[in-house]
Structure 1
Amino acid sequence: MEGLLFLAHRIPFPPNKGDKIRSFNLLRHLSTRYAIHLGAFVDDPDDWRYRDALKPYCASIKLLPLHPRRAKLASLVGLLSGEALTLPYYRNRELARWAHELAASGAVTRGLAFSSAMAQFMPAGLARRVLDMVDVDSDKWTQYAPTQRWPLSWLYAREGRKLAAWEARVAQDFDATLLVSHAEAALLQQRAPAAQHKIGAFENGVDADYFSPARDYPDPYPPGVQGVVFTGAMDYWPNVDAVSWFAERIFPAVRAAAPDAQFTIVGSHPSDAVLELARQPGVVVTGSVPDVRPWLAHAACAVAPLRIARGVQNKVLEAMAMARPVVASAQAAEGIRAEAGRDFTLALGEAEFAHAVVARLQTASSAAPARDCILAHYDWARNLSTIDPLFERTAVVPPILETCPA
């Protein structure tokens, strides 16, 4: 098999959070066609133990430590160089040298960069270079800016502008750029019109057999509790903002109408702000759990009250796969191929969100159409197969790019 250079900003294992779920499934799929040479950063000390789990998929593995505090300090160089801070945050001479040596030796002839930050390491001379940008991250920084006080508001707005310029540049430089949804792809096409014909999308999948409502799961909730659950990495600021807003501004109205309701926040590394929410009546913060499925299976409903979001929310897809009623904000629902009112409930504003959750608690039914939606649109094998032509030595534009709306 020919060699493929796979560069990821975070070790693609375990597949237990948004970016790792996508990167691992992409890595596993490509490993059936190419000899993978994986280069990635490790920003969580617990993840070093997963190196061996990646060996079956890789011809070689280059993992490098990334210390977030040091990287933040290093990123400030961008203020002098005029570039997005994201780029010096990840910049690493050892990874760059390793990647270029592989290309120069002929060990790799193709490459995939997972996230726009990793594009800076991709050798220019490869036969095919594909970028999985996943989300238009620059827009996320732009959304962050008005939520912060100066100087962070200025810094985040600057990052949004500088990163947008970088995203447009690499979309032009690479042979193809992929995003997680057609909505994300359309946004990048608008921002990088010169590269419009090379921008497309492949959607995430869900392991519907793993996230199956047919299994018997132990009930983690106390007797008599009506569970309202949120799942996600709880050191990720949009998730922190989402659960804080729900717990403080929405859940009191839910508890007033349904005194047995319990808002359970399930996810690793809860921030201090999240831990503080457990002081409120009916709010429980679990921290990391070995298996999220029991919390979903026995919940009356799942909520996704995100106010800042990009791409597709795996937490919504997984709850839908478990046939759980989902109440989601417009931001959380963006990019998901599902019908509001049938597959999930769309809630706009605090009062509407509280009303929708109470209605789900009062009906206490499963959501079979939601699982049907996942089975129809979010199969990993089917979705991943559409990217294979992008790595072929051909000048023909693959169909996946032709179907992306402008």
Structure 2
Amino acid sequence: MTGRFLPGGPTRAAPTEGSQLPRRMRVEPTPRPLRIAIVYSRSPLPMRRADQMTVANLISFLAARGHTVDLYALRTGGQITESHQSWLRDHCSQVRLFRHGRFRMALGMLQAVCTGRPLQVGIFRNGRQRQAVDRAARDGDYDIVYTYYLRSAEATRSIRQKRDGVSRRRPATFLAMQLSQSLNTRRILENASNVWTRTLYWYESRRVRQYETTVWRDFDRSVLIGQQDLDTINEECRRAGLPELDNVVFGAHGTDLDQFAVATADEVVPNRIVFSGVMRTPTNVQAVLWFAQKVWPTVRRAVPQAEFMIVGREPTGEVRALHGKDGITVTGTVPDPAVLIRSATVCINPMQAGGGMQNKLLEYLACAKPVVATTVANEGIGAPADCVAVTDDPAEFAQQTIRLLEDRAAQVRLGTAARSFVEEHWSWEGHFLRLERDFILALEELCGDEAAEDTLPPRRSRPGRSVA
């Protein structure tokens, strides 16, 4: 559905959806260049999802620091434009995209059912990708192999067991689990509204619990976003009588402080409430339905002129049905969600399920918006009370929303604190510098090298060929 696009006054020029490229990172060259393989379940461009945005920005960071990056990703459909290909060639030494169509996905899902693996692992399992990465790692091509998301673990989990005892050491391996899928699938199941969704997530939640508690042992480091994700996985390990994770490093996402900039006065539309996200994602659907059914009627009674905008591509039928009712607009695809976020008087994040962290919340805060959110929404970010109003009670959620719609001083106070919080804690550069440091520490440990602390990068691209 392509609905109305209501930017609400003069705006910055907006690119078309998916055309944005990661900006060049503001970092100095590293004193210790690494050879890094990134293994991923889809092309990072176009950046249509939060995970694509994270991987694309990681590549941008690593290239800016002077590391050599090879990308091993699946081509699952969708158009990659010439500008996307050019950007990847400029930032990666080698780009290998492996065809992975619907037949392979269906076969992988069937194999997952037969072997007891999570469906998401089966769907994205690709033998050619695994063989290519394994061969290069065995040949000593890399210092680091970085696997993004649990679903790609099968491509790299055997590397740690394979050693060439003669002359070549193996790379240090990282599994970026990011969020606990045990936590994520359980919450989706608890909030599922139909039999099909409940059945699917009942099956998947059982499988990811078993998989998550063991797969981490096949990697040198497991990357998680926050403590809640670690606590959940360790709880499942204890229940199963298995060792708890002892190789965790924390690696959150950042946000683009240039794209998600502070709104000018003429961009803001009075009494506009905005939710932004991909609207086919179950957690986002559950969030907006909860707000529309349990919170929005109270807000509209108190502020009859209020409007609620649901911003994001691919809305489901349940979400599309809200369009045009009681001041609700479902936009569908828009050129740049940041424009509509800046147009909001108040932004909301009423997530009921999910895990890890919420990029949309960071984007709201970066735009200096007053925000009302649930505990789940703020779990991975931990924004303080002077930045965001947090509540899980529908009546209180409504009252906080009404208060912020009507109180200009509170809008300014929360918005100013929100932008400062993101600038200090949530830049891409800050998080990736910490991840880079973890790369080097893992490599030093693997090599048995008692290198001095000053060999590590401070806490603060190579052009190449593309191989399809």
Instruction: State the TM-score, normalizing by the size of structure 1.
Output: 0.89
Pairwise CA RMSD of aligned residues? Answer: 2.6
Match of 1:91 in 2: 125
Contact 1:172 1:194 in 2 (8 A): no
- 1:131-146 mapped onto 2 (5 Å cutoff): 131-146=175-190
Corresponding position: 1:386 with 2:460: no
- 1:3-402 mapped onto 2 (5 Å cutoff): 3-31=35-63, 32-47=65-80, 50-67=84-101, 71-72=105-106, 74-122=108-156, 123-124=158-159, 125=162, 126-146=170-190, 147=192, 150=195, 152-192=197-237, 194=243, 196-213=245-262, 218=267, 225-340=270-385, 342-364=386-408, 365-366=411-412, 367-392=415-440, 393-395=443-445
Please state whether the residue corresponding to 2:402 is helix, strand or coil.
helix
Contact 1:172 1:195 in 2 (8 A): no
Contact 1:182 1:200 in 2 (8 A): no
Contact 1:9 1:117 in 2 (8 A): yes
Q: Aligned equivalents of 1:249 and 1:185: distance in 2?
A: 32
Deviations 1:349-381 (A, max 9, x none): 221111111111111433111111112211221
Contact 1:42 1:48 in 2 (8 A): no
Please state whether the residue corresponding to 1:197 is helix, strand or coil.
coil
Worse overlay, 98-107 or 40-49: 40-49
Counterpart amino acid of residue 444 in structure 2: T
Following superposition, the deviation at residue 214 of structure 1 comes to: 5.7
Deviations 1:10-49 (A, max 9, x none): 2222445321222222222233343211112244513465
Report the CA distance shift for 1:48/1:190 in structure 2 as closer, same or farther (over 3 A).
farther
Ranges in structure 1 where 5+ consecutive residues have no aligned partner: 400-406
Please state whether the residue corresponding to 1:351 is helix, strand or coil.
helix
Following superposition, the deviation at residue 71 of structure 1 comes to: 2.2
Report the CA distance shift for 1:66/1:351 in structure 2 as closer, same or farther (over 3 A).
farther
Match of 1:402 in 2: none
Please state whether the residue corresponding to 1:265 is helix, strand or coil.
strand
Please state whether the residue corresponding to 2:444 is helix, strand or coil.
coil
Worse overlay, 149-158 or 137-146: 149-158
Q: Aligned equivalents of 1:266 and 1:67: distance in 2?
A: 29
Deviations 1:117-173 (A, max 9, x none): 111101514320011111111222222234255565344223212212222222111
Match of 2:30 in 1: none
Report the CA distance shift for 1:13/1:195 in structure 2 as closer, same or farther (over 3 A).
farther
Please state whether the residue corresponding to 1:76 is helix, strand or coil.
helix
Q: Aligned equivalents of 2:225 and 2:262: distance in 1?
A: 26
Worse overlay, 159-168 or 343-352: 159-168
Report the CA distance shift for 1:203/1:82 in structure 2 as closer, same or farther (over 3 A).
closer
Higher RCO (CA < 8 A, seq sep 6+): 2
Please state whether the residue corresponding to 1:167 is helix, strand or coil.
helix
Equivalent pairs: percent with the same residue?
26
Report the CA distance shift for 1:196/1:217 in structure 2 as closer, same or farther (over 3 A).
farther
Q: Aligned equivalents of 2:309 and 2:195: distance in 1?
A: 33
Report the CA distance shift for 1:84/1:214 in structure 2 as closer, same or farther (over 3 A).
closer
Following superposition, the deviation at residue 80 of structure 1 comes to: 1.8
Ranges in structure 2 where 5+ consecutive residues have no aligned partner: 1-32, 163-169, 454-468
- Structure number, greater radius of gyration: 2
Q: Aligned equivalents of 1:69 and 1:255: distance in 2?
A: 48
Following superposition, the deviation at residue 100 of structure 1 comes to: 2.2
What is the count of residue pairs matched by the alignment?
Answer: 394
Q: Aligned equivalents of 2:76 and 2:264: distance in 1?
A: 34
